[in-house]
Structure 1
Amino acid sequence: MIRLNINGQEREVDVPADMPLLWVLRDELNMTGTKFGCGIAQCGACTVHIDGTPTRSCVTPVEAAAGTAITTIEGVQGKAAQAVQAAWQKMDVVQCGYCQSGQIMSAIALVAENQNPSDEDIDAAMDGNVCRCATYQRIRAAVKDAAKTMRA
């Protein structure tokens, strides 16, 4: 059994230690907000926070996540999460929506740390988060709006 802290709740799973965290979340725990995109940590759809750091869950063995604080899109909360969620709606970022949980997880981590990000800061923080619909300009605008909310 592997003990995990997910969204503030202790969970135990009986899975192979090398099973990717993504599959534990989706297939074992029925937490489907975190998406499978590429399986090789290149697209960002599977992004979760591990101890506050955006992490690709598709390549993270579940045993590596034991003893950490895992936050999924279902469990985000706080000022940064609220600011990003409101900005995403205000800027009408979502098109197909498939990448959005990963995009939002990366954006929350960014604005929690940097309330005045430059375009370069945003590009660096969101690097590897692929949006097939190419809403990158709206994503950047939403991150800036969320950061402005954080400064207020």
Structure 2
Amino acid sequence: MDKVKSVLGGSANHHPVFPQTVNEASTLGWGTRVKGFVACFVVGGACTVLGVCMLFIPRIGLTLFIVFYTFGNICALCSTMFLMGPVKQLKRMCDKTRALATTIMITCLVLTLCAAFWWKNFGLTLLFCILQVLSFAWYSLSYIPFVRLAILKLVSMLMR
């Protein structure tokens, strides 16, 4: 509680750095972190499944799928912030090994929504949705040591 009071009240002599302030104010117990992770991940998974079910609704099904699927991906991505904290997660997302995957993943999330609502081009929407799946998978695999390297070697062997 003292951390929250110091963040909200502040003092004349102490001006904490913003990321440090956010990290200190958001410290949760391990049990709460796991509950938050599970809840956010389940909501993300449920939205993804619900989005797939929405595909079968005539005329608006694809749009609903895109909304639910993208929201599900965002929830799944945010769920990991409960485990390691938001600041540490953002730093890890911008690591040298993940920066490109993170950029592509976020770009695909945004482009999927733009193609569905702004440009109203369903061919592009599906393309960006597929790229969203692939980029999210590639990003997720970056957390498992040497898996991406093994996949690249496997693909190069298959291409010969």
TM-score, length of structure 1 as denominator length: 0.30
Larger Rg: 2
TM-score, length of structure 2 as denominator length: 0.29
Higher relative contact order (CA 8 A, sep 6+): 1
More strand by share: 1
